[in-house]
Amino acid sequence: MNPMRRTGIILLTALIISLFFCFAAGADTGALRFPPPDFESGYEMPATETPPSASDIYEYLAVIVLAAVLGLGTYFVFTKRKRKYIWGLMIFSLAFFGFWRRGCICPVGATQNITLTIFDQGYAVPVVVIILFLLPLVLSLFWGRIFCGTACPLGAIQDIVLLKPLSVPYWLEVPLRLLGYVYLGMAVLLAVTGAGFIICRYDPFVSFFRFSGSLGALMLGGAFLVVGIFIGRPYCRFLCPYGILLRHLSRISKWKVKISSDECIQCRLCEDSCPFGAIRQPTGEASGEELARRKKMLAVSIVLLPIIVFAGGLGGARISSLLARAHPDVRLADRIYREESGEVAGTTDQSEAFRSTGDQSIESLYELSAEIQATYHQGSRLLGAFLGLVVAASLIRHTVRRRSREYKADPSDCLACGRCFELCPNERLRRQRIKEEEDLRVG
Amino acid sequence: MLENNSTKKRTFQSWQAAIFITCLTGLFSLFLIGFLSVRYFHYSHTLPGQERRIEEIKSELGAAPGNEALLQEVRELDILTRSIRFQWYGVASRAGYLLLFNLAVMLTAAQWAKKRRERLPAPSSNKKYDEEYDSAAAMSRRTVAGAGIILGGLMAAATFFLNPAVDDYVIEVAEDEPVAKKEFPGPPDREEIGLNWPRFRGPGGLGVSQFENIPREWDVETGDNILWKSPVPLDGQGSPIVWDDKVFLTGGTETEKQVYCYDALDGELLWTGDVPELNVSVSDIELNIDTGFAPATPCTDGRQVYAIFPTGDVAAFDFNGDRQWVVNLGVPDNVYGHASSLVGYGNTVIIQYDNGQADDDQSWLIALDCETGDTVWRTARDVMNSWTTPIIIETQYGDQLITSSEPYLIAYNPQNGEELWRADILSGEIAPSPIYAEGLILAISPYVAMIAVEPSGPGEGDDNREVKWEIDRGIPDITSPLSDGERVYMLGTYGGALSVHYLEDGRPAWQDYIGGDFYASPSLVGDSIYLFCAEGAGYILAAGDEYELLGQYPLGEQVQASPAFAEGRMYVRGEEHLFCIGYSE
C-alpha cells in the first residue's frame, strides 16, 4: 500500500478513537456553574438581570451576508474560477459566521430546529432560521455545494489547517461517509422527541468560536483540527449532517463545477489535487466479463434492498429503549424506578430535585417515560430502516458502472474549493487568453 | 541566467523565512497549550478539594452556628476559591486570545511556505483506468457491506451490553406488607356545594348567599354580632371560602406563600400550609403592589383546598393541612400579577391562566387533577392577560364554563376544555368577573359596557354574534356585578357609584353614590345588598327599585376582599383580621 495512504488510514483511525473518548468523556459545552456567596450580613443579592435578546437586525444581517457570500462564491467558482478569491471569501466567512456570530445559528444546526418545528406544533422558529436553512439547499440545486466551500465556518476552520493532505482511499472513504447518515438520523430522532440538539451539543468547533467550552469539547475540536492537517475536512466529509442533504441535492444540480474549462486532455495533473477525494478519474472500458458480473450483482443488490431495509428496521426497534435513554425524562424515570425498586442506592441531583419539588407524581413520570419510549420505538425503527436503505443504496451505486472519458469533480463530493482549477492546463490557457484580451483592451 | 539565479535565491529565502515563522509560532503555541494545560490541571485539582471543605464546614456550622473559627476558615476558603477561579478565567481568556493570534500567524506562514514549495505533479504513465475503477468499486462494495454488518453487530452488541431504559415500570409490593392506597373520595354533588361557599363569590360565582339569616348590623367596639376576630398572619387580597366548619384563606409576601385554615366556630387558626417556591420566584414576574402576593381566592371541594399564587404555583392541601401536591404553571406574563381565582369542577381544578397579549400564545385554560395535580386538559386561548374568574353555568346544552378576557367572551366544555362558542365583544383590562342571571351572561368591559349575552349551543356562536342588550353607564373596573333576578347592580371603585339596571332589557332603574372606594364585590342576602368599602365599613342596602340605605357599620380596618357566607354567619377579611359576623345564638 502507498505509504501516504497508510498514514491517512492511521490518522483516521486515530480520529475515530479520539472521537470515541471525547464523546465518552461527555464533550458537552455547558458552562461551569459558579455559586454566589452565602452572605450572612444581611446583604441582599441583586436581582438576576436577563440581558435583552440581540436585535433582530443582526439575524437579518446574517441572512443578507450569507446570501451575499453565496452569490459571490458562485461567481468566483463558476466565472472567475480562482482559488485565491474563494479562499478570501472562506476566511471572511470564518471571521463573520464563526468568530463574530459565534457559530450560531448556522444552517447545519438549524436542521434540528426545522425538524422540531415540523413535528412539534408548540415549537416555532423565526423566519430567518428557515431562510438560513433553505438558502444553501436551494442554491445547491443550481450550483452545488457552494456553501461548503465559501460560507461554512466549520468547513473553513478545517480548510485553513490543511497543510499536508493525504489521500483517503476510496474504499475507506465510502463506508466512512455512512457515519454522517447515522449522525443525521440520530439528530433528527432526538430533535423530534425533544431530547436535545446533538449537532449543536457536539459541535466540535463552536468552543473555539466562543472561546469557551468544556475540556471534552476542546479536545474534540482539537482532535478534528490535528487530523485535519492531513485529512481534508474530516468533519465535513464523514460527519456533517447538513452535508448529507447538500450532497444529495448537488447530485442533481443544474450547473456542476468543472475541473477544466475546456475538454479534458487527460493530463492527470489534477488527479491528486482534491484533498477531499472528489475527483473521479476516467473509467475506461469494461470487459464483457466484468459487465456480466456487475449485472448479476446488481440483481442481487436490488433483491437484498428490501431485506436490508427490513433488517435495519428490526435492529432499530431492538435498540429503541437504549436510544430512549437519550431523553432526560426517560433517564429520570429510569433512575427513579431503580431507586424505588432498590436496584441502586442514593440519589442523583435530578432524582432529588424531582422528589423535592413534587410537582409530578412518580406514576405520571413513568407514564410520560412510557409515552416517550413508544415514540422512540417508532422513530428507532424508522432510523434503522433509513440506515439500511443507505447501505443498500450505496451497494447498488457501486455496482452500477458509470462511463466517463475525462476527469470530473463528483458534484456530490465537490466542496467547490477551486484547488483543481489551478493545475488544469486548459484553465491556465483560459486565464492567459483573458489576460491577453485585457492587455489588448488596455493597450 | 544570473537573473534567474537571484530570483531562485529570493524565493528560497521567503520560503525559509515562512518555515522559520511557522516553527517559531508553532513552538510558542505548544508552549501556550502546555501552559494552559498545566494551569487547568492545577485549577481542576485544587478547587474541588477546597469546595468540598467549604461544604463540610457549612454542615459543621449547621450543628455549631456560632463557631467563630469555622466561620473565619470558611470565609478565607471562600475568598481563596473565588480568587483562584477568577484568576484562571483571566489567564485562560488572555492566553486563549494569544494562542488564536499565534495560530493564525503560524497557519498563514505555513500556507505561504506550502504555496512556495508546491511543484507540479508528475503522474506516472501507463495508467489502467478500467482496472483501477473496477477494483475500487469492488473494494468499496465490500467495505460498505462490512460497514453495514458492523453497524448491525453494534446494534446487537448494544442490546446485550448496554443498559436499556426500563419500560415496564412494575412496582413490586411485598405480599406480607400490603400497602393500601388511600382512596380519594369522589367530588361533592351540587346540593353539597350549595350548602357551602367553595369559591370566589360562592356557588356559581354569583355573590348570592343561600342563607338569609345573616346579621344586618354589628358593632366591633361592643362586639355585638361579632362572633370572633382572628389575626391573619400574612397579607392578601383573596377572599375567604367556607366548607362545613372550616374557613380558608391565603396570604403571602415576597418570599412566603401560605394557606390558612380557621375553625369556623371559634376562629382558631387550625393550620398554616406553606407552599414551596418551585422554579419561579416573585422577582421573575411583574407584580403590582396593589395586587399583593395572594390576590386570588382559593377553592375547595370538601376533600382538599386548592390555592394559586402570582408566581403560577398551584397547591393542594387536605383538610388536615398536609400538602398533597404543588405544581407550577410556568412564568406568568401579567401586567398587574395573576389574580384569577380557582374554580372546582368534578375531579378537576380549573385555572384561567391568561398571559401576555392575545397573539402571544401564552394564555391557557388549564384543568388539574384534584388528586395528583396532573394536567387533565389544557386549552390555548387567544386572549390577553386578565384578572377575571370563570363561572360554570347550567344550560340546556349542558354545563358551560364562561370566561371573559379581551377580546372574547368564550364558553368551554368544563369536562374537556373544548371551546363551544365565543363572542368578540370585550375590551380593556378586564377584572370584573361575569355572572349568570335569568338565562343571561353578564360580562363587563371596564368603564365601557356591560353586555348581556344568551348562551348558545356548541358551534352556534361566532365572533360577531348579537348581544341581548348593552349598557354603557356606571360600568365598574374592578368589582363584579350582582343580580337579584330582576335587576343588575354595578358598583364603581371610586366614590361608590351604585348603578342599577333592569335585567330584562338593560334600561336604567336608579343610580346613587355611597361614598368611599370599593374593591370588594357586592353580595345579595335575601332582599338586602351587602357592600364593604376599602376604608373599612359595611353598608346594607335594600334591593329594589330605589336607593334605601338600611345601615352602615364600621369594621375598624380596610377591606378589599369579598365576604363569604354560611348558615347564620358572614366571614369578612380585613387588612389584618378575619371577622366572623353572626348571631350569638
pLDDT in tens, B386-428: 999 999 999 888 899 999 999 999 999 999 999 988 888 888 8
Q: Is A16 a domain residue?
A: yes
3-state secondary structure of B425: coil
The answer, yes or no, to whether the previous bond of A16 is cis (omega within 30 of 0) is no
Q: Within this chain, do residues A140 and A244 fall inside the same structural domain, yes or no?
A: yes
Please indicate whether residue B2 or residue A294 has the higher confidence score (pLDDT): A294
> For cell 362572633, what's the residue?
B227
Same domain, A243 and A134: yes
**A297 contact B CB<8A:** yes
From the list B85, B111, B142, the residue facing A34 with the nearest CB is B85
Q: Which residue has the higher pLDDT, B207 or A34?
A: B207
Residue A225 in any domain: the answer is yes
Tally of structural domains, chain A: 2
Residue A214: what residue type? S
Same domain, A67 and A190: yes
CB contact under 8 A, B130 and A316: no
Residues in chain A within 8 Å Cβ distance of B85: 34
Residue B171 has pLDDT above 80, yes or no: no
Q: Which domain holds residue A66?
A: 10-25+57-258+410-418
Q: Which stretch, A55-64, A415-424, B71-80, B329-338, has highest mean pLDDT?
A: A415-424
Does residue A34 form part of some domain?
Answer: no
Average pLDDT of the segment spanning B36-42 = 86
The shortest CB-CB distance from A315 to any of B139, B152, B374 is to: B152
Q: Span B99-115, mean pLDDT?
A: 89
Q: Are residues A139 and A219 in the same domain?
A: yes
- Whether residue B132 and residue A281 make contact (CB cut-off 8 A), yes or no, is yes
Rounded Cα–Cα distance for residues B287 and B272 (Å): 24
pLDDT value for A363? 84
Q: A100 and A212: one domain?
A: yes
- CA A382 – CA A231 distance, rounded (Å): 33
Interface predicted TM-score (ipTM) of this complex, two decimals: 0.81
- Identify the segments of chain A with pLDDT beneath 70: 1-40, 52-55, 443
Q: Is residue A182 part of a domain?
A: yes
Q: Which residue of B has its CA nearest to A173?
A: B140
- Contact between residue B498 and residue B511 where contact means Cβ atoms under 8 Å apart: yes
Look at B123 and A268 and tell me if their CB atoms are within 8 Å.
yes
Taking an 8 Å cut-off on Cβ atoms, the answer to whether B169 and A370 are in contact is: yes
In the numeric block, the cell 466567512 is attached to A93
**Residue B223 above 90 pLDDT?**
no
Domain assignment present for residue A386? The answer is yes
Gap between the Cα atoms of B528 and B271, Å rounded: 34
Tell me if A290 and B152 make a contact (CB, 8 A cut-off): no
* Angle between the N-to-C axes of helices A215-228 and A153-161, in degrees from 0 to 180, rounded to the nearest 10: 60
Domain-embedded: residue A3: no
Residue A325 lies in a domain: yes
* Mean pLDDT, residues B497-515 taken together: 91
Q: Please return the burial class of A379, using the count of CB atoms within 10 Å of its CB with bins 0-12, 13-18 and 19+.
A: buried
**Cα(B49)–Cα(B58) distance, rounded to whole angstroms?**
14
Query: Quick one: how far is CA A74 from the chain centroid?
Result: 21
| A130 and A180 together in one domain | yes
Distance from A285 to chain B by nearest Cα, in Å? 6
The HSE-up count of residue B173 (CA atoms within 13 Å, CB side) is 6
C-alpha cell at A160: 485553513
- Residue A26 has a pLDDT of 46
Whether residues A247 and A127 fall in one domain: yes
* pLDDT at residue number B583: 85
Interface of A with B in 155-214 (CB under 8 A): 160-161, 163, 169-172, 174-175, 178, 182, 208, 211
CA distance B256 to B501: 43
Q: What is the DSSP letter of A304?
A: H
Residue A401 located in a structural domain: no
Phi, psi of B395 (to 5 degrees): -125, 175
Q: Is the pLDDT score of B84 beyond 90?
A: no
Same domain for A246 and A319, yes or no, is no
B433/A1: higher pLDDT: B433
Three cell numbers written together for B479: 368589582
Q: Do A194 and A254 fall within a single domain?
A: yes
pLDDT in tens, B224-283: 899 999 999 999 999 999 999 999 999 998 888 999 999 998 999 999 998 887 766 666
**Do A377 and A414 fall within a single domain?**
no
* pLDDT, position A32: 46
